[in-house]
A and B are shown apart, each in its own frame.
Chain A
Amino acid sequence: MRVGIVGAGFMGRTHARAWAAAGESVVATVAMDDGSADAMAAEHCLRVYPTTDALAREVDCVDVCLPTHLHLSAVEQAAPHLGGPKAGSIFCEKPLARTVGDAERLVALCDAHSVWLGVGHVLRFFPDYAHALALVEAGTVGTPAVLRFSRRAFAPRNRWFLDREQSGGVIFDLMIHDIDFARLAAGPITRVFGSLDAPEQVGEHAYAICTHLSGAITHLEASWRYPHGEFHADFEIAGSGGLISSPGGGAAPITPYLYPNFREGEAGSNEQAVPAAVQPSPDDPYVRELRAFARAVKEDKEPPVAGRDGLAAVRVASAIEQSIASGQAVDLPREAQS
């Protein structure tokens, strides 16, 4: 599969490495005003196209790693060139779109052009979360009853992230991972109530209480309030037959505690100089995610995280946003639940 990546920020660069590890060829990218695409192109020997439209003509798959509010326009440019005999595909980073309307149009466009659409809800491919889901599906906790998912980090420094109009803030950036996962673990969500704590000067923090069609209830927490460099994620799923919870820091099989300037030539640079803790599985979640997507597309099957999954997560995130704005609980319309 010949892949073109649109967007050369953190996620674009992550995907460029992951596609290669997944055995697919990243061949092209699109020029960015900030020059970021040139650096990525140099590292991965990519051809740089002036527009998404031009890139889409030359590849089988367009991977959209742009800021959230730009996803729809990228897909509008790409989808017409990927359908038909080419049987192309689009992989779109999560969240699928900033608004329900955009997400619906994006999914409809891909449907109209018969282009497979995959969405980057990578959490499903993290080994601890994937294992937890397998346990739930095997009936280990019985019927899920009370679920908690939490994702907490420092505030991003990119300006578009901090503009809630463009990014949707911490709910669309972090909570949406757990919205998708909660839907997998306990089924469609029918009602939400959200709370956003966004004081001046520090990152925002949100929680939401969700009711599922099954009767299960879920607490979601997402934070940008932490000091720089902190990241924490945890979960628990309590059901009629027991409880499972995230393994926490103890799950890392290798945790280095090294001086930050131990490497020649990187003295004084605190970021990225120290190797991170090793994850409990050799499979990188991004590699697993993109490999699973590529396999489905090649078999002409719906990708494992499909457009409708991405749309459903955006619907829940938007309902939480609406609840925060109105102070009321928000019911999701029946058609939005599946």
Chain B
Amino acid sequence: MKIGVVSLAHIHSAMYLDVLKDRYPDELVGVFEPEAKLAAAHATDGVRIFDDWDRFLAAGPRAVIVCSENARHRQDTLRAFAAGLHVLCEKPLATTAAAATEMVGAAAGANRVLMTAFPMRFAHAIVTARDSLARGEYGRLTSVVAVNQGRIPSERRWFLDREAAGGGAVTDHTVHLVDVLRWYTGSEVEEVYAVANRIIAAQQTELETGGLVSLRFANGVTASIDCSWSRPGGYPTWGGLALRLLTSEGVVDVDAFAGRIPVYGATPTATCLSDFGPDANALMIDEFIAACTDSRPPRVTGEDGLRAVEVVAAAYESIETGRPVRMPPRG
């Protein structure tokens, strides 16, 4: 099955292209990127760039990975469905719940796969802990303290722009853990409390750079998420994602990025952490391609992306009002 990438706007496009070049070299048709500047800045060796949608389609992709700015996910996804393509869409699925709902509806109408790019569903530690939890080895989950902090993504300016990104740290970093927690609990978020501020990197953006979110699930589990862009430029890696599971039997710490080797360079700035272990992005793309090929729902769906977007919307409402926000009942 031929596959392409739509847009080089998101940093992850480079990672996904690496996976496709490595594992699906014969299926990779190239990238649709109409912006000449982006194409020039982020061109990858051996990957064809199309600036024209029809010529991109003529190369024969059956599926695309949408890596445009958050606010463009909707139009890029709808256009792909109109052309009969399956879509793996970068997270967050959309900047509004209405847009995400429309995307999910369009996938159903076109009978195409819509998968949300939540690679944590494929990360070794996250999957293994989920299996142990599901088998009852950890006891019953009662509460979670989770973090997904990172450096401010200032290397792509659109992340710091309200219109293009939809929001700051809360938009960028809440959805991964909301999705993991929905998966772990098998339950839906019922209530959201959140606070945010803009003290870190205040000169760079009008968006929030610090955020703390508290969730209450329908089954009674409570969880906090630190979604802050609180890792400074000198931090030895981009950030991380970890959960502390409180259960009826004790406590389990889960670190999705424990596989890191410190590298001490010749200069202070050369110090970093080097990741090892299985590549969750590769496993996620494998699953997307398998779902498209087998015409079955992927393990992470468009609905999963929509649910996370709804929680982010509730978090912003809570930040605005200073009160916990009940999630609207779903029809």
Which of A's residues lie within 8 Å of B, judged by CB? 143-146, 148, 150, 152, 191, 193, 195, 197, 199, 201-202, 205, 207, 209, 211, 215-217, 219, 221, 223, 225-227, 236, 238-243, 327-329
Contacts and interface: CB of A to CB of B under 8 A. Distances in A.
A143 B193 contact: no
Contact of B251 (A148, A211, A225): A225
Given A239-B200, A243-B232, A195 B224 contact: yes
B297 to A, nearest CB: 33
Given A219-B145, A223-B246, A329-B323, 13 more contacts: A145-B210, A145-B230, A146-B197, A195-B222, A202-B250, A217-B197, A217-B210, A221-B224, A226-B250, A236-B230, A239-B200, A240-B202, A328-B323
B47 to A, nearest CB: 36
Nearest to B323: A329
Contacts, number: 113
A221 B195 contact: no
A238 B228 contact: yes
Given A195-B224, A216-B199, A205 B210 contact: no
Contacts of A238: 149, 200, 210, 228, 230-232
Interface string B178-219: 000000000000010101110111100000011110101000
Contact of B324 (A148, A202, A329): A329
B53 interface: no
B251 A223 contact: yes
> Which residue of B210, B249, B322 has the most chain A CB atoms within 10 A of its CB atom?
B210
A264 B232 CA distance: 52
Nearest to B213: A209
B214 A195 contact: yes
A238 B210 CA distance: 9
Contacts of B128: none
Interface of A is mostly: strand
Contact of A148 (B222, B226, B323): B226
A191 B322 CA distance: 9
Nearest to A241: B232
A319 B54 CA distance: 61
B143 A197 contact: yes
A199 B142 contact: yes
A100 to B, nearest CB: 22
Contacts of B246: 197, 205, 223, 225
Nearest to B139: A202
A240 B140 CA distance: 39
B140 to A, nearest CB: 8
23 contacts: A145-B197, A145-B209, A145-B210, A146-B230, A191-B195, A193-B214, A197-B143, A197-B222, A202-B250, A205-B143, A205-B246, A207-B145, A207-B224, A219-B224, A219-B226, A223-B246, A238-B232, A239-B199, A240-B199, A242-B232, A243-B230, A243-B232, A327-B191
A176 B286 CA distance: 48
A204 to B, nearest CB: 9
B223 to A, nearest CB: 8
Nearest to A214: B199
B149 to A, nearest CB: 8
A328 B321 CA distance: 12
Given A145-B197, A146-B228, A209-B224, A197 B142 contact: yes
Contacts of B324: 193, 327-329
B235 interface: yes
A143 B231 CA distance: 14
A332 B210 CA distance: 22
B69 to A, nearest CB: 25
Contacts of A207: 143, 145, 214, 222, 224
Contacts of B262: none
Contacts of B323: 328-329
A215 B251 CA distance: 32
B234 interface: yes
Contacts of B214: 193, 195, 207, 209
A209 B200 contact: no
Contacts of B145: 150, 207, 219, 221
A242 B234 contact: yes
Nearest to B246: A205
A213 to B, nearest CB: 12
B248 A201 contact: yes
A222 to B, nearest CB: 11
Contacts of B210: 145-146, 217, 238
Nearest to B202: A240
Interface string B300-328: 00000000000000000000001110000
A148 B230 CA distance: 11
A211 B195 CA distance: 7
By Cβ-Cβ distance, the 6 closest A-B pairs, closest first, are A238-B230, A145-B199, A197-B143, A146-B210, A195-B222, A146-B228
Contacts of A227: 250
Given A197-B143, A238-B200, A225 B250 contact: yes
